[in-house]
Amino acid sequence: MKKNLRNILTIALGFVTVIATAQSWDADSRTRVNMSGDNDQFTTEQRTTLDANWGGNGWSINVNANHNMDLGQNNRDGVLNVVEANASTDLMGFASVTVGRQTLEYGSGAIIGANDWGRTPNALDGGLFNLDLDMMDVEVGYYRDNQGNEDEEDHTSMLINASKSDGDWSINLLYVSNEYNDGTDENAMGLDLGYAMMGGDLDLAVSYNSGTTTDGDDIDMMSIGATYVVSEGITLNAARTTYGENGFGSNIGNYGGDDSWNTHGNMGYLGADDEMNSYGVSYASGDFNLGVTMHNITNAENEEYERDVTEANFGYSLGDNSNVGIKYAEDGEDKYTWLTLSIGM
């Protein structure tokens, strides 16, 4: 009991100190109830996030931390995670550099994504240069995963991201290269295109991601989709996603593995040669919104394989800073339900 009280007081003191000295800050609390299975699981997790910023002429410092705790569990020691801790400065007006721990989001998020659904979002430790170019926005990053030993999983990462939007179209190109301590390497490239038609009522999107694994296998996935505004508040969407003969995946993307429904809030990366057709409709009016999407997955090399997935969500705004949401997913015989209450300030 004394240990728990000491931990709580230490965390509270740290939060108060940060808030007192920061030039700007915000906080939010997320309570999520998992009612999966036959709606009898009913496990509850609490995540509190605090973001603080300091800045001046040409420089800024950002710190973001969250505290996770599983309510109703015997182990009542919460876990404090430093999600972001970085500093940025201007480089003589032609570029800026950010050094430290950062969460990044590029393109579709299939290769690099923050994954805010999880207990702790994805983060990278290193430096990011943002070049101030008139032709397009260019970012160059160098990151290191170093455990302080000769672990073969330790690696360095380099990325280049170029993006441009003009009028009705947008483009994002990402290239990532990883080199491991054991001498192996891997790379990935993502291309995302977007185009708006019919006065913005019809949005077309193409996403192509490819790469080479440490074993020398070529991996790829491609998605083509369209979103159409039927009338005020009603939107239709359709997409087709295909995977190559070796599949596709990333450890720091917005999709996960076998337990992706719980870790990322989605079905995750599909398997090799999988093909998925998706159709959905959403409606928003005032303080509430709802949507349903159906996915049918088949396999180009296995005619007997078929997987049907249904996703549904409902959201309602309780006020300026709070909202409640329900997410339901049925993946074959597996059923998942989450009730989420979020409060920000």
Instruction: Kindly state the average pLDDT of the residues 171-192.
Output: 94
Tell me which residue has tokens 């999880």: 118
Half-sphere exposure of 310 toward its Cβ, with a 13 Å CA cutoff?
A: 9
Per-residue exposure over 27-48, b if at least 16 CB sit within 10 Å of its own CB, e if not: ebbbbbbbbbeeeeeeeebebb
- Compute the distance between CA of residue 322 and CA of residue 28 in angstroms, rounded to an integer: 9
Q: Name the residue type at position 159.
A: L
Q: Which pLDDT score is estimated for 10?
A: 60
Q: Is the pLDDT of residue 109 over 80?
A: yes
**By three-state DSSP, how is residue 94 classified?**
coil
pLDDT category at 2 given cuts 50, 70, 90 is low
Please give the full DSSP string across 240-270, using - where no structure is assigned.
EEEE-TT----TTSS--STTHHHHTSS--S-
- Show the tokens assigned to 232: 């005020």
For residue 192, what are the CA distances in angstroms to 114, 205, 224, 255, 275? Answer: 17, 7, 10, 16, 19
Mean pLDDT, range 102-131, rounded to an integer = 94
Give the DSSP letter of residue 58.
Answer: T
Averaged pLDDT for residues 83-106 = 93
Mean pLDDT, to the nearest integer, of 128-155?
A: 81
Q: Which helix (H) or strand (E) holds 326?
A: strand 322-331
Residue 271 has pLDDT above 80, yes or no: yes
pLDDT in tens, 16-29: 555 555 668 889 99
**Mean pLDDT value across residues 269-283:** 97
pLDDT top residue among 55 and 244: 244
Q: Look over the chain and give the mean of its residue pLDDT values, rounded to a whole number.
A: 89
At 7-63, the pLDDT tens digits run 555 655 555 555 555 668 889 999 999 988 766 677 889 999 999 999 888 899 999
pLDDT at residue 129 is higher than 80: yes
What per-residue confidence (pLDDT) applies to 288? 93
Range name among 35-49, 143-157, 246-260 with the lowest pLDDT average: 143-157
Residue 293 region, left (φ>0) first, then alpha (ψ -120 to 50), else beta? beta
Structure tokens at 119: 């207990």
pTM above 0.85, yes or no: yes
Q: What is the mean pLDDT of residues 289-313?
A: 97
Between 25 and 124, the higher pLDDT residue: 124
What pLDDT was estimated at residue 133?
A: 85
- Evaluate whether 332 touches 320 at the Cβ level (below 8 Å): no
The Cα 326–Cα 308 span in angstroms is: 20
Q: What is the distance between the alpha carbons of residues 344 and 338, in angstroms, rounded to a whole number? A: 19
Predicted local confidence at residue 240, as pLDDT: 98
Residue 92, pLDDT > 70, answer yes
Judge residue 90's burial from the number of C-beta atoms within 10 Å of its C-beta, 0-12 exposed, 13-18 middle, 19 or more buried. Answer: middle
203 and 194 Cβ atoms separated by less than 8 Å: yes
**CA–CA gap between residue 296 and residue 282 (Å, rounded):** 18
| Per-residue model confidence (pLDDT) at position 12 | 54
CB 204, CB 226: distance < 8 Å: yes
pLDDT interval class at 152 (50, 70, 90): low
